[in-house]
Structure 1
Amino acid sequence: MGERDVPEHHSRVRESYDAVAEEYAARIGGELAYKPLDRALLGALVEAVGPGAAIADLGCGPGHVAGWLAARGARLVGVDLSPGMVALGRREHPEVEFRAGDLLELPAANGEFDAAVAFYSVIHLVTEELPAAFAEARRVLRAGGLLLTAFHVGEEVRHMRDWWGNTVDVEFHFRESGVMVRAMVEAGFEIDARMERAPYPEEAETRRGYVLARAI
């Protein structure tokens, strides 16, 4: 998939995140401080792959998750569809390498990474794109590499046109854990763990899901 045939809804996502990049970083960039389960899962991922492992943050936004992982000894590459987010990440987290790219065509070599995280990034894909996105994640992971995903649990689609006073056009797809698991298994992963939690008081009131999978 080249630049000329990027799906229209991907272009809308890119433009929407460009529009909110600075505000997003200001509001969301410190979110791990009040998310103990997320920190525990990310910490377990770093421990599992070992010091100096290469980790990709897929749909990295302003790079706050990548920065947290890098501070714990991993070598991070953040990938995001939004050039505004990539520029912000480079400014705020110089210890991380950032690349602009689409989840369906990652700018990375086969087997380049020991692990990957995708926190609330596949939520902007339509369901039919999930197998291809996870197949791309599988492609850039070594055999036995780990993928940790986070998502909103449910079956609804929320369409946002105003985001903190900025005009946007972006959809948020909620999914049941089983949908995520099936797409990951189809793409060449086996499931190590899956869980859900209630929202923290500081978050939007949506149930959160996580799946940890291993490339086979």
Structure 2
Amino acid sequence: MIAIVETYGSMLISALGKTLLLTLLSLFFAMIIGMIVALFNVSSNKPLNILGMIYVDAVRGIPLIVLAYFIYFGIPAGIKLMGIEGFRLSALEAGTIALSMNCGAYMAEIFRAGIESVDIGQMEASRSLGLTYSQSMQYVILPQAIVTMIPSIINQFIITLKDTSILSVIGFPELTNTGKTISGNTFKSLETWAIIGFMYMVVIITLSKVAKYIEKRINSVK
């Protein structure tokens, strides 16, 4: 095991960095998608409600690995059928899109629940003071909702971090894919996957402790 760390340590650290990069990029775009879809879902506009519901149900109903294959292989093939040659997505681009779409559907439900957890009287009071619906949502509802959503957002970050391992199927050099390479080169599967598992465990436990700490701070303020 020590020999693997000495020989492939830099590769493992690089893979961990790429895993975290993919996770952060995906979470960033997922939060934007989730907020937009959540606002659709809490809107009084029926067509927007339907669009939001379709997105959440459709994306959550598709396994992430299928979504990744569709984006990485399917979309370029479809564009080629349209007569456009040379279009190709990198593994990072396809992985970010797939994870963002998948995570965005779950983030939408987190945001929706957070918004709905704010007493409806808050909206009525702000509207009575002359604020528009969008102003009330921006300055009154969302600031209160986001505080309650932070632990759930961190938990979703953890889930997304673990989901990056699925993207080894499209060749993105994250930790799991790197583990396959090292295992194939050294023929030491037990030691290799023990190291990979330990690296995931350290990061995920750290994030879990952060989530619990923040949740305790929020509850103490309340």
Higher helix share: 2
Please tell me the TM-score bracket, short chain as reference.
under 0.3
Instruction: Compute the TM-score of the two structures, normalised by the length of structure 2.
Output: 0.26
Bigger RCO (CA 8 Å, 6+ sep): 2
Higher strand share: 1
Instruction: Compute the TM-score of the two structures, normalised by the length of structure 1.
Output: 0.26
